[in-house]
Amino acid sequence: MSTAKNSKPVNFIHQIVEKDLQQGLNDGQVVTRFPPEPNGYLHIGHAKSICLNFGTAEKYQGVCNLRFDDTNPEKESQEYIDSIVRDVNWLGYQWQGEVRYTSDYFQQLYDWAVYLIEQGKAYVCDLLPAEAKEYRGNFTTPGRNSPFRDRSVAENLALFERMKKGEFAEGSCSLRAKIDMQSPNMNLRDPMIYRIMHTHHHQTGDQWCIYPMYDFAHGQSDALEGVTHSICTLEFEDHRPLYEWFIDHLPVPCVPRQYEFSRLELNYTITSKRRLKQLVDEAHVAGWNDPRMPTISGLRRRGFTPAALREFCDRVGVTRSNGVVDMGMLEAVIRDDLDKSAPRAMCVVRPLTVTVTNYPEDQQEWFELPNHPKDESMGMRQVVFSRNLLIEKEDFVEDKPRKWKRLAPGDAVRLRGAYVITCQEVVKNAAGDVVELKCTYDPDTKGSNPEGYKPNGVVHWVSAEHSVPCEVREYDRLFTVENPSGDKERDFLECINPQSLVVLTDSRCEIGLADAAVESRYQFERTGYFCVDSDSTAERLVFNRTVTLRDSWK
Ligand code: ATP
Ligand code: MG
Determine the distance separating the centroid of ligand 2 and the alpha carbon of 330, expressed in angstroms: 24
Q: pLDDT per residue over 37-58, tens digit each?
A: 999 999 999 999 999 999 999 9
Question: 61 and 180 in one domain?
Answer: yes
Mutate to test the pocket of ligand 1, among 44, 46, 266 (most ligand atoms within 8 A of CB): 46
Burial of 72 (0-12, 13-18, 19+ CB in 10 A): middle
Determine the distance separating the centroid of ligand 1 and the alpha carbon of 324, expressed in angstroms: 16
Distance, CA of 469 to CA of 472 (rounded, Å) = 10
Question: 286 and 241 in one domain?
Answer: no
| Ligand nearest to the CA of residue 266, numbered in listed order | 1
**Per-residue confidence (pLDDT) for residue 5, from 0 to 100:** 55
Distance, CA of 379 to CA of 188 (rounded, Å) = 65
Question: 98 and 173 in one domain?
Answer: yes
Mutate to test the pocket of ligand 1, among 11, 42, 49 (most ligand atoms within 8 A of CB): 49
| Ligand nearest to the CA of residue 265, numbered in listed order | 1
Q: Which of 164, 176, 273, 387 is catalytic?
A: 273
Using a 6 Å cutoff on CB, does residue 264 contact ligand 1?
A: yes
Number of H helices, E strands in the chain: 12, 27
**Per-residue confidence (pLDDT) for residue 552, from 0 to 100:** 74
Using a 6 Å cutoff on CB, does residue 103 contact ligand 1?
A: no
Closest C-alpha among 56, 3, 64, 58 to residue 28: 3
The residues facing 210 across adjacent strands are 196
Question: 282 and 365 in one domain?
Answer: no
With beta carbons less than 8 A apart as the criterion, state whether 180 and 136 touch.
no
Closest C-alpha among 222, 163, 165 to residue 193: 163
The domain of 503 spans 264-346+462-554
Q: Which atom of ligand 1 is nearest to the CA of 272?
A: 6
Q: Total structural domains in the chain?
A: 3
User: How many CB atoms neighbour CB 460 within 10 A?
Assistant: 22
Query: Which residue lies with its CA nearest to atom 23 of ligand 1?
Result: 46
**Per-residue confidence (pLDDT) for residue 487, from 0 to 100:** 85
Q: Which of 18, 37, 265, 471 is catalytic?
A: 37
Question: 196 and 78 in one domain?
Answer: yes
Strands 434-442 and 420-428: antiparallel
Q: What is the DSSP letter of 409?
A: T
Using a 6 Å cutoff on CB, does residue 143 contact ligand 1?
A: no
Question: 269 and 252 in one domain?
Answer: no
Can you give the CATH number for the domain in which 112 is found? 3.40.50.620
How confident is the prediction along the chain (554 residues), in pLDDT tens digits per residue? 445 555 555 899 999 999 999 999 999 999 999 999 999 999 999 999 999 999 999 999 999 999 999 999 999 999 999 999 999 999 999 999 999 999 999 999 999 999 999 999 999 999 999 999 999 999 999 999 999 999 999 999 999 999 999 999 999 999 999 999 999 999 999 999 999 999 999 999 999 999 999 999 999 999 999 999 999 999 999 999 999 999 999 999 999 999 999 999 999 999 999 999 999 999 999 999 999 999 999 999 999 999 999 999 999 999 999 989 999 999 999 999 999 999 999 999 999 999 999 999 999 999 999 999 999 999 999 999 999 999 999 999 999 999 999 999 999 999 999 999 999 999 999 999 999 999 999 999 998 999 999 999 999 999 999 999 999 999 999 999 999 999 888 999 999 999 999 999 999 999 999 999 999 999 999 999 999 999 999 999 999 999 999 987 66
**Per-residue confidence (pLDDT) for residue 1, from 0 to 100:** 40
Closest C-alpha among 485, 496, 34, 494 to residue 274: 485
Can you give the CATH number for the domain in which 470 is found? 2.40.240.10
With beta carbons less than 8 A apart as the criterion, state whether 310 and 252 touch.
no
Of 239, 261, 283, the residue that ends a domain is 261
Question: Is 301 part of the annotated catalytic residue set?
Answer: no
Residue 2 lies in a domain: no
Residue 375 lies in a domain: no
Order of strands, edge to edge, in the sheet holding 100-101? 31-34, 63-68, 100-101
For 24, phi then psi, to 5°, come to 80, 20
Of 196, 230, 261, the residue that ends a domain is 261
Residue 3 lies in a domain: no
| Ligand nearest to the CA of residue 45, numbered in listed order | 1
Question: Is 446 part of the annotated catalytic residue set?
Answer: no
Question: 466 and 456 in one domain?
Answer: no
Using a 6 Å cutoff on CB, does residue 136 contact ligand 1?
A: no
Q: Which amino acid is at 280?
A: V
Of 411, 433, 460, the residue that ends a domain is 460
The residues facing 257 across adjacent strands are 229
Question: 184 and 35 in one domain?
Answer: yes
Residue 500 lies in a domain: yes
Residue 382 lies in a domain: no
* CA dihedral for 65, 296, 11, 246, sign (positive or negative): negative
DSSP 16-38: HHHHHHHTTGGGG--EEEE---S
Return the exposure string of 516-526: e unless at least 16 CB atoms fall within 10 Å of the residue's CB, then b: beeeebbbbbb
Distance, CA of 351 to CA of 390 (rounded, Å) = 6
Residue 142 lies in a domain: yes
* CA dihedral for 133, 136, 140, 141, sign (positive or negative): positive
Strands 210-212 and 192-196: antiparallel
Question: 249 and 295 in one domain?
Answer: no
| Ligand nearest to the CA of residue 42, numbered in listed order | 1
* 3-state SS class at 145: coil
Residues 6+ apart with CB under 8 A from 75: 37, 39
Question: 201 and 52 in one domain?
Answer: yes
Determine the distance separating the centroid of ligand 1 and the alpha carbon of 460, expressed in angstroms: 45
Closest C-alpha among 422, 441, 427 to residue 359: 441
Query: Which residue lies with its CA nearest to atom 18 of ligand 1?
Result: 232
Query: Which residue lies with its CA nearest to atom 8 of ligand 1?
Result: 273
Determine the distance separating the centroid of ligand 1 and the alpha carbon of 277, expressed in angstroms: 14
Residue 68 lies in a domain: yes
**Per-residue confidence (pLDDT) for residue 553, from 0 to 100:** 67
Mutate to test the pocket of ligand 1, among 34, 37, 259, 324 (most ligand atoms within 8 A of CB): 37
* 3-state SS class at 509: strand
Closest C-alpha among 196, 154, 155, 189 to residue 175: 196
**Residues 284-291: contacts with CB under 8 Å, at least 24 apart:** 284/493, 284/496, 285/478, 288/40, 288/41, 288/83, 289/41, 291/473, 291/475, 291/533, 291/544
One-letter-per-residue 3-state SS of 354-403: EEECCCCCCCEEEEEEECCCCCHHHCEEEEEEECEEEEEHHHECCCCCCC
Using a 6 Å cutoff on CB, does residue 83 contact ligand 1?
A: no
User: How many CB atoms neighbour CB 74 within 10 A?
Assistant: 10
Strands 351-356 and 434-442: parallel
Question: 171 and 29 in one domain?
Answer: yes
Can you give the C-alpha Rg of the chain in angstroms? 31
Residues 6+ apart with CB under 8 A from 297: 41, 42, 83, 86, 87, 288, 289
Question: Is 273 part of the annotated catalytic residue set?
Answer: yes
pTM value is 0.95
Residue 7 lies in a domain: no
Return the exposure string of 356-395: e unless at least 16 CB atoms fall within 10 Å of the residue's CB, then b: beebeeeeeeebebebbeeeeeeeebebbbbbebbbbeeb
Q: Which of 75, 144, 149, 263 is catalytic?
A: 263
**Residues 160-169: contacts with CB under 8 Å, at least 24 apart:** 160/113, 160/114, 160/117, 160/124, 160/194, 163/124, 163/194, 163/196, 163/210, 164/110, 164/208, 164/209, 164/210, 166/198, 166/209, 168/196, 169/196
Question: 104 and 202 in one domain?
Answer: yes
The residues facing 528 across adjacent strands are 524, 548
